[in-house]
Amino acid sequence: MKTIVIKLSGSLFSMDSGPSGIKKIVKTLDGLARNGVKVVAVAGGGKLARDIQKTARTFHADEALLDQFGIDVSRIHAKLLTTVSNKACPDIPTTLDEVLRYSTSHPIVFSGGLSPGQSTNATAALIAERIKAKLFINATDVDGVFTSDPRKNKNAILIKAITPKDLLKKLGNEPMNAGTYDLMDILSLKIIERSKIPTMVIKCDNRRIKSAISGKSTGTKIIF
């Protein structure tokens, strides 16, 4: 049976796009489930997580606790996803073992973050590794990996394919504070590399998710 892990950008849950964006994507995942594909989708924390982390930072909370606030918010997002789906496990897992257990008895599992010190990207990569996923889709708030940050540089060009090692070099000098820009962090890449997980980095919208699932080229492909 085919298994897919998809990381859903936290930006999906900000109120701008509204609930309709969430609905469409969950319907797509339900469709996959009906066709016998096993899905684990990991929700990000997004702006709400960053807002709470900002308040906690004014109280001098440590970074690991800030990570935990991000995890708490991402789990609320995951629970929201369960209310739309007809195929999902009603529980949100809190450990990697629970992800595995729930996914053996439910076609779809929605998860948030699992552990401080790990972005939801890295968590999704670990899950992909643990359940031996055939495809890991990282659905972010940008179109893929660019030659430079496209939000700062208009001339940034989308990279169609890149190795974990090359991507690592691009990211190596970035800071790692809770909630910062984390397109694909180092830990995720190390995991993708060590287990050679087939990975796509795409924008988080329903059309492109469908394309990525059906194997069409969109965004950036991680190659080995």
Residues that bind a copy of itself (CB under 8 A): 15, 19, 22-23, 48, 51-52, 55-56, 58-65, 68-69, 72-73, 75-76, 79-80, 83-84, 89-91, 96-97, 100-101, 104-106, 114-118, 122, 125-126, 129-130, 132, 165, 168-169, 172-173, 175-177, 186-187, 190-191, 193-195
157-176 burial, b if ≥16 CB within 10 A, otherwise e?
Answer: eebeebebeebbebbeeeee
Q: Closest approach of Cβ 160 to a copy of itself, in Å?
A: 24
Closest CA to 119 of 103, 138, 147: 138
**134/211 with CB nearer a copy of itself:** 134
Q: Closest approach of Cβ 33 to a copy of itself, in Å?
A: 14
**6/189 with CB nearer a copy of itself:** 189
Instruction: Return the structure tokens found at 211.
Output: 């394309």
Q: Closest approach of Cβ 196 to a copy of itself, in Å?
A: 10
**91/143 with CB nearer a copy of itself:** 91
Amino acid identity, residue 148? S
Closest CA to 195 of 224, 159, 167: 224
**151/165 with CB nearer a copy of itself:** 165
**192/204 with CB nearer a copy of itself:** 192
Beta strands in 49-198 (DSSP E): 108-111, 135-140, 161-162
- Separation of alpha carbons 33 and 190, rounded Å: 29
Kindly report the backbone phi and psi dihedral angles of residue 134, in degrees, each rounded to the nearest multiple of 5, phi listed first. -85, -15
